[in-house]
Structure formats: structure tokens, C-alpha cells
């Protein structure tokens, strides 16, 4: 292996390039027209344009990828994750072209590529699987009988699925038919395979996965587990390693089960065996029961947390195994060192149902040099977040001697992230990581939904935060050049301590009239519920260090025009220094339903003249690999429908008009 083509983009392409170059390998990047300015293109040894922005015309085109390998003299292909990474036909094509595929044998990919065949193989190997039906008979009658035998509630899952697509929860027999049709339709559209399986619903599951590695010499190891239970709409949000709260016995049992799964299918390379852990059922030793869910036959997005607790470079292991080498370490050589937590920073708007946000990154500052922090990102300032690919900006990862230290470092790293040009889930992630129940390890896949109220932005601003804002404004003012005598005097008063006056605005409340009186090198801050004393200074960029009543506080303070954003302890607060502008009158809303982002209309469910109620489904829009359900804001009559199934629409496009009923 001398030169490797990376059949991917973004942060995983950069991640692979970094290790490949360290190992002395040359790299070939591929890119679509919209990715011409992406960092991975510049950082690779060579780069090849493979088509327009649409993934179906570029990153998913086997012929173009193999042609790029041939033209550049690459002798290996690393698929990264996503796109074609688990496509057995692609792996076959790479090998038939005489190239090394940095991944598992095709047969193992095919077994694990479908949930039904995977579960059959695991059952035969003695790995526990969730009670359910994985049969080939997909008739409605057979599936209904299986559902009755399993009992409700249950899950319908696409056999070729992932990421929650083709999955439906069913709570009663009367819901089953409609749910089955919807799951099959979504599975067919997403994966070209409408096959489903049915399994018992675990009410409060944890999602625990085990990293495995195998070589061509018969060696199989596990590198311990990760907990990926913090999910939203079946998409992972925060991952950590090792999983909190597991006994040594359960950790060992999970590792053995995962290694058994890999050995049973003749696996080679990096893989992840995913388990559902039932928090409501336990074995005779008191450990919760667990069941095989699926195996990902590739490197995972969350692999950095495993790297940080084991000290191994998993991409390097992939290259070594692909070259026919033995694993760099055997099971007894692998130890857990501390704890690691990862958060996925996305361009999305939590206040609008986590809709993806597109635009150009006018400002992007990711934490560098913070203790224990690591950032893997595929974008730079000036790059665009588009509708064509996953809207991830970065993976923010933190490592510490124990779980609390790792979480503290993750919150600090998230507070230090500055992104402008798109909306992000940064504040949501920081609040989630700092939530008391998460810190206590009381987690399952329903955590985010259960604590939704706690994770919403708060309108209340504590007095201590107002004090920080006031100190930051004064520190910022004092750092500015002073040209006139009056500017130089600042808050000077004859025979009295210098005093500053600030009006601080929180939402629509009356201004808080804050005074800062200089006393002995600090300020006495009045206008709050209780006066406090404090001082503060910027210690680099937006990092603000303050002493408030003898307590040292570290915060991130950002300016947004006349507003000040204070981030402290995982929470973000916006405080105005000028009266808020009056909201524009008549700016849309009402009965006008517009596209919240660019996307493709998957379905329209109303027609002119139809009566609707608040919350009724109107239209489904697909953007950034996700489906977004648009609903009626109130009761009324559909006046017009401006979009049809299959239409590609721009952000702000009028889709449907509704004549809302007069509530008076």
C-alpha cells in the first residue's frame, strides 16, 4: 500500500489524511463541485473532481471513484463512513479493480448489511438477540401474526435501515397496518429495500456499542464499549466511553459477545457491534439484559472517544490490517485510561425543531489548546453548509481522568466554540452535557425527550450573569483607544470614586440600571437584587476571567452588535446594551406555510378547500438527509397549494396558504 484514495469528504477525510501522512502514505481526495474549497481537498497529496454537488452524481458513483483511483495511481481505497462505506457491491468493485479495500470482507458486509440476516447469524453464534420476527415472508398476514405473538408495544424496522429510517413504534393492533405501510415506503425510498423485521420494544433502552477489530491471522479483540444513548430522532447526539454504570462483569460479557459476533462472520478490520441494554430487566447477577441490535462494518463517527481512552489510532489499525499485518495489540494489552465524551456540533436550529441551517460560515472558532479537548472538523471559515450533505460542523471531544472531568472539559470546549453564518445546536449540547441527570449517569434513549423542558433556552438571566456582562462591557470599553479628554476620564468624579452607568436589557423587560463604582481596583456593582463586588478581564479572544465576590469565574463573552452573549457553565445568555428594536409588523406567519430551508417536497397531504386543525400534517420536506413535517399553525381552510410532490424548493418559498378561523 503506497497511495490511498479516500472515497469520502469532510472531517472523516481529513482524519484519514492525517494518519495516512503520518504513516508515509500518499493520499488522493475526491470532491464534488461544491466542495472545491473544502480543507480535505487542499490537505491531500492529490485531489480529483468527481462531479456535481448531488452525492448521487459524485460521492456515490463507483465508476467515478475507481476512475479517480486509476488516474492517480492509487492502490487502495478507504471508504470512511457514510456514502459507500458499507456497500458490499462497492467493496467488490474496488477489489475487482485490483485495489485494496480498507474494510472487511464482502461476505461479512453482506451478512451484517441486513438486520434480518445479521440477527440470524448472531442467534446461531449464541449472541443474544431481541425477541422478534426476522422471516422472509413479508405478507401483511404473516407480519400481523408475528406482531400478535410478540405483543405490543413493538418496533417495525427496515432490514436495510439505519438512522431511524424505516422504523416505527406501534403501540396497538389498530396502528399496525398504517405503521407497516409507512415503514415499508420509507425503507424502499431510503434503501431500495422495503423488507422489515419486527421486534419487542424495550421501554427504557440504553444504546451501548462495542468497538471490535480483527485481522486476517485469526486475531479478534474488542476496545471496550461506548454509550450512545443520548439520541434525538434515533440520531446520536452525545457519545462517551466507557459506558457509565456498567459492572466489570457486564463490560466483560459485552466485549466477549462482540468479539464472538466478529469471529462468527470471519470479520477483518474495524467494526462496531451495537447492543440494546434493557434497563428494566436483569439477570440473576443483577446486571441488565442486553441484545444484539446490529453491526456497523466500518469506522464509526464516534471512534475518537475510543481512541482517547485506549491511546490507539484506529485509522492506523485499519491500514495495518488492510496490509495483512497482525493487530498492533492483543486483548491483554488494551486498557481503559480515563473517560472521553463527544458531542456533534451541527448547523441546525434547536428553537425551530432542529431544522438544518444553511449558509456560509462567516466566523468559525473551534477550541484549540484547551486541556483534554480535541476537535475533528471538515470545514473552515468561509466554507458553506449546504443542503447536499450532512450539516455537521465539528465533533467536539474531551478526555479526562474521570467522567466528571471529561464532562467539565466538554462543556468548556463547547462554550468556546464560535460559529456565525448559520444557527447551531451548540448551546443545546452544552446544556445537555451539563444536565444533572446526565452527570449522574441516569441515561437511556428517551433522555432528551424526557428532559426537553430543561434543555430549552431560558429567558431568565441571573444577577451574577448580569454582573459578568457589565464587567465585560467595561473591560471592552477600557481596551478601546481614548482620543478625547472626556473619554480618558471615563467614570471619573471629583473627590468621589469613578462610577459607570449601564442600561442592560433582557428580552422585553424594563432596562436594568446597573452602576459600577470603582473601589480598590475592583467595582461595586449596584442595580442588582444584591450588590456584588467584582473585576474582570479578557484573557484571550472571547475568554473572560472574572472575580465576583471572591469566586473565580471563567466565561466566554461575545459581541453581537449591541448585544452581549455570556456563556458560562454550559448556558448562554443574551443581554442587550441598547433598547431592543420593535418587531416588524406583518412579516409573514399567520396562514402562510413557507419552506424553512431548501429541500425536496416528498409529499403534500392537503388540497384547496380542505378543513385542517392545528397540528395537522400538511407537507413533508426532505433536506440534509432528514424528513421535516410541516403542520398547520391553527384551524382553518386550505386556500391554495403552491407545491407538488417532487418539487425542489428554495428557503422561504410559499408552499401552502390557509385561511385561519377567526378566534373571536
243-252: pLDDT as tens digits: 999 999 999 9
Which is higher by pLDDT, 134 or 63?
Answer: 63
Residue 447 has pLDDT above 80, yes or no: yes
For residue 648, say if its preceding peptide bond is cis, omega within 30 degrees of 0: no
**Summary mean pLDDT of the chain:** 91
Domain 463-576 in CATH 3.30.700.40? The answer is yes
292-301: pLDDT as tens digits: 999 999 999 9
609-646: pLDDT as tens digits: 999 988 888 988 877 556 777 888 888 899 999 999 88
* Euclidean distance between CA atoms 615 and 606, whole angstroms: 13
Q: CATH number of the domain at 3-102, please?
A: 3.40.50.20
Residue 483 has pLDDT above 60, yes or no: no
213-243: pLDDT as tens digits: 999 999 999 999 999 999 998 889 999 999 9
- For CATH 3.30.470.20, the residue range(s) in the chain are 106-130+205-337, 339-457
pTM score: 0.82
Quick check: 473 and 502 in contact, CB under 8 A? yes
Q: Residue 41 in 3-state DSSP? A: helix
Would residue 464 show up in a list of annotated catalytic residues for this protein? no
339-457: what fold?
Answer: D-amino Acid Aminotransferase; Chain A, domain 1 (3.30.470)
Domain 132-200 in CATH 1.25.40.10? The answer is no
Q: What is the pLDDT of residue 663?
A: 61
Q: What's the mean pLDDT in 4-15?
A: 98
Q: What is the pLDDT of residue 590?
A: 63
Q: What's the mean pLDDT in 414-428?
A: 94
Q: What is the pLDDT of residue 494?
A: 43
Share of the chain above pLDDT 90, in %: 73
Which residue in 14, 298, 464, 571 is the catalytic one? 298
Q: What is the pLDDT of residue 150?
A: 94
Q: What is the pLDDT of residue 479?
A: 67
Residue 386 has pLDDT above 70, yes or no: yes
Residue 588 has pLDDT above 60, yes or no: no
For residue 242, say if its preceding peptide bond is cis, omega within 30 degrees of 0: yes
- For CATH 2.40.50.100, the residue range(s) in the chain are 592-660
Tell me phi and psi for residue 49, to 5 degrees: -75, 130
Kindly report which listed range (41-45, 137-141, 537-541, 553-557) carries the lowest average pLDDT score: 537-541
Residue 366 has pLDDT above 60, yes or no: yes
The CA-CA-CA angle for residues 91, 313, 30, to 5°, reads: 45
158-169: pLDDT as tens digits: 998 776 789 999
Q: What is the pLDDT of residue 624?
A: 59
Q: What is the pLDDT of residue 664?
A: 54
- For CATH 3.30.1490.20, the residue range(s) in the chain are 132-200
Q: CATH number of the domain at 592-660, please?
A: 2.40.50.100
**Among 192-196, 495-499, 577-581, 632-636, the range of highest mean pLDDT:** 192-196
Q: What is the pLDDT of residue 533?
A: 92
Quick check: 4 and 27 in contact, CB under 8 A? yes
Residue 651 has pLDDT above 80, yes or no: no
Q: What's the mean pLDDT in 74-83?
A: 96
Name 603's bridge partners.
620
Superfamily (CATH H level) for 106-130+205-337? ATP-grasp fold, B domain (3.30.470.20)
Q: What is the pLDDT of residue 149?
A: 94
Which is higher by pLDDT, 263 or 585?
Answer: 263
Q: In sequence order, what DSSP letters do the residues of 92-135 get, joined into one string?
A: HHHHHTT-EESS--HHHHHHHHSHHHHHHHHHHHT--B-SEE--
Residue 332 has pLDDT above 60, yes or no: yes
**How would you list the strands of the sheet with 288-296, edge to edge?**
288-296, 269-282, 205-214, 220-232, 235-241, 339-346, 392-400, 373-377
Q: What's the mean pLDDT in 109-126?
A: 92
Quick check: 223 and 271 in contact, CB under 8 A? no
Quick check: 150 and 133 in contact, CB under 8 A? yes
Q: What is the pLDDT of residue 497?
A: 57
Residue 559 has pLDDT above 80, yes or no: yes
Q: What is the pLDDT of residue 626?
A: 63
* Euclidean distance between CA atoms 562 and 301, whole angstroms: 39
Q: In sequence order, what DSSP letters do the residues of 640-664 get, joined into one string?
A: EE---TT-EE-TT-EEEEEEE----
Q: What's the mean pLDDT in 334-339?
A: 98
* Euclidean distance between CA atoms 165 and 403, whole angstroms: 32
pLDDT-derived band at 587, boundaries 50, 70, 90: very low
Amino acid at each position: 500500500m503506497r497511495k490511498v484514495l479516500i472515497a469520502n469528504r469532510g472531517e472523516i477525510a481529513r482524519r484519514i489524511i492525517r494518519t495516512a501522512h503520518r504513516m508515509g502514505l500518499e493520499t488522493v481526495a475526491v470532491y464534488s463541485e461544491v466542495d472545491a474549497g473544502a480543507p480535505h481537498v487542499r490537505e491531500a497529496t492529490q485531489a480529483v473532481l468527481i462531479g456535481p454537488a448531488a452525492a448521487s452524481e459524485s460521492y456515490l458513483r463507483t465508476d467515478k471513484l475507481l476512475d479517480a483511483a486509476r488516474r492517480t495511481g492509487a492502490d487502495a481505497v478507504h471508504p470512511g463512513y457514510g456514502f459507500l462505506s458499507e456497500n458490499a457491491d462497492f467493496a467488490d468493485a474496488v477489489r475487482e479493480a485490483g485495489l485494496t479495500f480498507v474494510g472487511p470482507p464482502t461476505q461479512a458486509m453482506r451478512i451484517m448489511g441486513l438486520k434480518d440476516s445479521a440477527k440470524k447469524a448472531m442467534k446461531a453464534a449464541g449472541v443474544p438477540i431481541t425477541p422478534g420476527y426476522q422471516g422472509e415472508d413479508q405478507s401483511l398476514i404473516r407480519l400481523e401474526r408475528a406482531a400478535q405473538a410478540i405483543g405490543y408495544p413493538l418496533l417495525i424496522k427496515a432490514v436495510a435501515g439505519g438512522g431511524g429510517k424505516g422504523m416505527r413504534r406501534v403501540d396497538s393492533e389498530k396502528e399496525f397496518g398504517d405503521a407497516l405501510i409507512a415503514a415499508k415506503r420509507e425503507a424502499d425510498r431510503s434503501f431500495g429495500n422495503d423488507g422489515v423485521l419486527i421486534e419487542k420494544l424495550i421501554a427504557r433502552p440504553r444504546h451501548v456499542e462495542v468497538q471490535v477489530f480483527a485481522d486476517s491471522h485469526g486475531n479478534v479483540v474488542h476496545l471496550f464499549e461506548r454509550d450512545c444513548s443520548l439520541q434525538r430522532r434515533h440520531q446520536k447526539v452525545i457519545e462517551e466511553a466507557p459506558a457509565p454504570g456498567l459492572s466489570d462483569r457486564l463490560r466483560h460479557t459485552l466485549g466477549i459477545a462482540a468479539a464472538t459476533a466478529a469471529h462468527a462472520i470471519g470479520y477483518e478490520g474495524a467494526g462496531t457491534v451495537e447492543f440494546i441494554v434493557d434497563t428494566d430487566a436483569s439477570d440473576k447477577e443483577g446486571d441488565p439484559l442486553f441484545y444484539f441490535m446490529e453491526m456497523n462494518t466500518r469506522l464509526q463517527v464516534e471512534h475518537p472517544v475510543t481512541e482517547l481512552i485506549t491511546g490507539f489510532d484506529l485509522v492506523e489499525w485499519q491500514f495495518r490490517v488492510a496490509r495483512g499485518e497482525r493487530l498492533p495489540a492483543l486483548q491483554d494489552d488494551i486498557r481503559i485510561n480515563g473517560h472521553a465524551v463527544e458531542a456533534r456540533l451541527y448547523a441546525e436550529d434547536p428553537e425551530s425543531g432542529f431544522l438544518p441551517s444553511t449558509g456560509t460560515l462567516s466566523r468559525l472558532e473551534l477550541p484549540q489548546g484547551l486541556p483534554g479537548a480535541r476537535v475533528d472538523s471538515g470545514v473552515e471559515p468561509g466554507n458553506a453548509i449546504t443542503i447536499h450533505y450532512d450539516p455537521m460542523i465539528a465533533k467536539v471531544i474531551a478526555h479526562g481522568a474521570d467522567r466528571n472531568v471529561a464532562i467539565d472539559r466538554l462543556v468548556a470546549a463547547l462554550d468556546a466554540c464560535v460559529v456565525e453564518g448559520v444557527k447551531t445546536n451548540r448551546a443545546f449540547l452544552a446544556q445537555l452535557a451539563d444536565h444533572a441527570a446526565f452527570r449522574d449517569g441516569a441515561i437511556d434513549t428517551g433522555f432528551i425527550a424526557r428532559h426537553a423542558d430543561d434543555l430549552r433556552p431560558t429567558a431568565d438571566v441571573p444577577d451574577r450573569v448580569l454582573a459578568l456582562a457589565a464587567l465585560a462591557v467595561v473591560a471592552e470599553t477600557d481596551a478601546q483607544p481614548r482620543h478625547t479628554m472626556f473619554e480618558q476620564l471615563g467614570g471619573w468624579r471629583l473627590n468621589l470614586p469613578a462610577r459607570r452607568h449601564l442600561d442592560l436589557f433582557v428580552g422585553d423587560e424594563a432596562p436594568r440600571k446597573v452602576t459600577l463604582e470603582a473601589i480598590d481596583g475592583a467595582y461595586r456593582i449596584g442595580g442588582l437584587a444584591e450588590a456584588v463586588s467584582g473585576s474582570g478581564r479578557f484573557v484571550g479572544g472571547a475568554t473572560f476571567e472574572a472575580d465576583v465576590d471572591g469566586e473565580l469565574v471563567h466565561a466566554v463573552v461575545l459581541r453581537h452588535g449591541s448585544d452581549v452573549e455570556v456563556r458560562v457553565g454550559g448556558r448562554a445568555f443574551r443581554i442587550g446594551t441598547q433598547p431592543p428594536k420593535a418587531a416588524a409588523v406583518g412579516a409573514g406567519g399567520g396562514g402562510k406555510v413557507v419552506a424553512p430551508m431548501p429541500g425536496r417536497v416528498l409529499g403534500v397531504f392537503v388540497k384547496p378547500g380542505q378543513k385542517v386543525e392545528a397540528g395537522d400534517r400538511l407537507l413533508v420536506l426532505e433536506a440534509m438527509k432528514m424528513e421535516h413535517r410541516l403542520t398547520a399553525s391553527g384551524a382553518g381552510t386550505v386556500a391554495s397549494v403552491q407545491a407538488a410532490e417532487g418539487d425542489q424548493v428554495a428557503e422561504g418559498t410559499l408552499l401552502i396558504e390557509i385561511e385561519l378561523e377567526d378566534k373571536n
